Structure 1
């Protein structure tokens, strides 16, 4: 029986959701647990681990196949009768963009600069694709042909547009607003462009689900490694889903009661609590062709400003 009733409830909720997003959970596990330890895993060990999330072998195999053939996020290597999977180069790039946002200890201070992307010259047949990709990066839509983002990496924007074949057609500006960047009008514009009310509600729901888990596990004298892995994986999985809809705007542009700050602190606290025991579980359960996964890379220990494993 689980030592944490609230964790058991979270697992049950995941098992009963329809449809079960097995592929998304697998990507979470790769990004959070496998990539820091070399990035390759035997499918059989992945299947065994995912049983604790209520996923059967057939569903896992089908999901991994789709991630390797239709997306593609994963690449396969066959050695004898065993299949080993790792992130593709494309999957690694998308992983790097998404997961580096998750583990930041704090958001960088904003100097008032903006990146503006004018899409009027982007061909109509790819304009929506460009809009979608820029939105995924954190841009907000100020109009059908104007998107904006504060404190962006201009080179990353150019690289993304280059991959889409739209760099020569997109007009980019980098501006500085000065001292007036926290005006009420700009706050309201930000609320509308990035659907901040909806994102805030998602953070509140995240807090309602995981705060009881944190409180319950914090009170335990000893933590079960398997439960710690469950908690850590579901924590990052659910936080990732909310965070990727969050443009992570500077505090100057956010509502006064923004719930994302509390959600990040809770995520950091619970992750730090379960990290060491969950790493024991990862080392025991996951396999490569050479045996257990390698030790985590040094960068792993810098997550959320520093974790111990």
Structure 2
């Protein structure tokens, strides 16, 4: 598990609901449970701080890091998608974004493309992207690149468009693979101690979060019947809920610096 992603997962899944701050020693200990080395954790936290995601704070003489408002917005939006806490409706209209200027720098162009993909947009042509709904994070995704954005109804078959722009067959295979993998990861929740439950839940959330970069959250109206994503979501919900009590107990113990091994 990459240290940077592991830090994001920890703050998003556990620390956000506990005030968004934690001692660096507790962060190191918690990520050690998923085999992330202490030096890698400290390097990742330092970089995230320089990038404006975390900021150093001391509480009662204890050094730690808190989420910045930028991180709070990003992680809140991500975890709404992960747990589908506010499932968006669909009015039948698509959101189109046209980059008004060609991005000359290749790395900058790739960063914008990655950001748009994460927000659920698919590339229709070199500078035109489409999603089933507008994203409130669009401005941060494109930065200073000027865009023309508008909503439109499709004069045609929405299912055909979705299948053309997103590889739904590959996404189906990925979801089915997730269900098989999750079943081997957590065959018996009742037999797990708190540390192991925390580690398994962290792995589960980490793998599930990857679908944010692949699944745009298409509406049912344009998805295949018996969509594999629904089965995978039910599997994730069941296992993550079952693991949460013991995982949370381990997090609380580490934050309190109690003697949990």
**Bin for the TM-score computed over the shorter chain:** 0.7 to 0.9
Structure 2 match to 1:174: 151
Give the superposition deviation at 1:267.
Answer: 0.8
Q: Take 2:255 and 2:214, find their aligned partners in 1: how far apart are those partners? A: 31
- Number of equivalent positions: 255
Give the superposition deviation at 1:34.
Answer: 0.4
Q: Take 1:143 and 1:213, find their aligned partners in 2: how far apart are those partners? A: 40
Q: Counterparts of 1:220-231 in structure 2 under 5 Å?
A: 220=190, 223-231=192-200
Give the superposition deviation at 1:137.
Answer: 0.9
Give the superposition deviation at 1:105.
Answer: 4.8
Q: Take 2:140 and 2:47, find their aligned partners in 1: how far apart are those partners? A: 24
- Segments of structure 1 that go 5 or more residues without pairing to the other structure are 1-19, 293-309
Q: Take 2:103 and 2:85, find their aligned partners in 1: how far apart are those partners? A: 39
More relative contact order, 1 or 2 (CA 8 Å, 6+ apart): 1
Q: Deviations over 1:215-253 (max 9, x none)?
A: 422xx3x65222221222111111001233210111222
Contact 2:120 2:217 in 1 (8 A): yes
Among candidates 140, 147, 167, match of residue 122 of structure 2:
140
Among candidates 43, 46, 50, match of residue 65 of structure 1:
46
Instruction: With the length of structure 1 as denominator, give the TM-score of the two structures.
Output: 0.72
SS in 2 for 1:269: helix
Q: Counterparts of 1:30-109 in structure 2 under 5 Å?
A: 30-69=11-50, 71-78=51-58, 82-105=62-85, 107-109=87-89
What is the aligned-residue RMSD (CA, Å)?
2.7
Instruction: With the length of structure 2 as denominator, give the TM-score of the two structures.
Output: 0.84
Contact 1:118 1:171 in 2 (8 A): yes
Q: Take 2:112 and 2:2, find their aligned partners in 1: how far apart are those partners? A: 26
Contact 1:112 1:151 in 2 (8 A): no
Q: Take 1:247 and 1:165, find their aligned partners in 2: how far apart are those partners? A: 24
Distance 1:81 1:62, change over 3 A: farther
